[in-house]
Amino acid sequence: MKHVPVITAAEAAALVQSGQTLLVGGFGMTGNPVHLVHALADTDVRDLTYVANNVGEAGLSGGRLLRNGQLRKAIGSFFTSNREAVAAAQEGRLEVQLIPQGSLAEALRAGGAGIGGFYTPTAAGTVIAGDADVRVLNGREMVFVPALRGDVAFVRAWRADEAGNLQYRLTEQNFNRAMATAADLVVAEVEEIVPVGTIPPEGVHTPGLYVDYLVQATLTADALGSSADVKGSAKKVDEARMHMARRALAELRRGDVVNLGIGIPTLVADLITPEHGVNLHTENGMLGVGPAPEQGGALDYPVNAGKIPVTALPGASYFDSADSFGMIRGGHVDVAVMGGLQVDAQANLANWAVPGKPLLGVGGAMDLASGARRLIVLMTHTDPDGTPKVVPECTLPLTSRGAVSMVITDRAVFEFRGGTLTLTELMPGATLDEVRAGTGAPFVEAL
């Protein structure tokens, strides 16, 4: 049986050389190998290419490397959660490559499996596709995404045995599992190291053949950033938003697998009861999401895609980000409820970027919009200045094309019937004249 050396975080950091590509596991600070990254921040290593879902939080994990000027490039899906990363990109101090979250996870899995890349419908027809090879496969336009590998991977697991077998806790699998396969040298930071045989074979998530070194490090709330306590999260709640959330809930059916995006859609989760029979999915690796706990954080509970601690309902399951997005792209999610910036008359959605701001935060929106069987968009009817958000043609960067099934605003409900934008309902307190005046796209009235 293989015996994996146990080293210190400082010794692990010494394995990384300037100019290398570093894979860092975690979703936000959940499952993040923060002790390894902070040890690296104490070295003189520079010009790193940092591959992760995001660059940690300000001053935490990758955020500390960024603050030190140790990063040359970052490859990931959502950098806007770290204001210092946004500033560095705007000022030209950090090169950024943005990849949809599901494509990032699959690119890492492909890299670890010796596959050169793959074609995906995610990002087809959007600026994210860039100059990638595009082909029509099985009647769908698909974009080629090359595999991703690194020189070194830092991952975080709950337990390891002396042979390097890893077991993850709750939603801490996220990007860790794929990254542990996709680097030439892998260091696993773990809460505890146990004798071989302590972890049953069916409990091993990452076999020890992938792991080169182990570092024992105890996680504390200080390392969890915004996920340290559920009380640190904040939702914008008003009656108009709650009307929208209630109307969206009315569209969900018993047995539906449902993914709720950030923003207004998160309010739907607070309305769902066990009697609804809805199975909530979160793209960072959980099915069977329950309500937020009254107190506690990521040391005690799983975390959802909004990085908010949640509970697990009976029958819940955990998996990694690559499997999660396989569920999404494979059409196994019945409904996605997402926020929006614009929806147009062709059922196109724009919800991730606005003019004048860096394109730094696509997350899983493109995967969900193109992969869910039904897409419901919740958004205010107009911008604060009265500019319509239901428009003839999207002028903002697209998230997906022709995918929207229903739009619920604070004034109206629209459906796409036979490909035609159709007004089917007025929201409480709204008038038909207000809807006509505040809607930029032509629509059919079917009240």
Residues annotated as catalytic (active site), given as ranges: 283
89 SS3 class: helix
In 218-291, beta strands by DSSP E: 257-260, 279-282, 286-289
d(CA 168, CA 178): 13
Residues forming a β-bridge with 282? 286
Tokens of 163: 């042979």
d(CA 170, CA 323): 15
Q: Mind giving me the DSSP string for 324-391?
A: HHHHHHTT---EEEEE-SEEETTS-EE-S--TTS---B-TTHHHHHHHSSEEEEE--SB-TTS-BSEE
d(CA 391, CA 187): 50
Tokens of 313: 């309902």
Tokens of 239: 């009656």
Burial of 434 (0-12, 13-18, 19+ CB in 10 A): middle
Q: Mind giving me the DSSP string for 35-53?
A: HHHHHHHTS---SEEEESS
Residues forming a β-bridge with 414? 407, 423
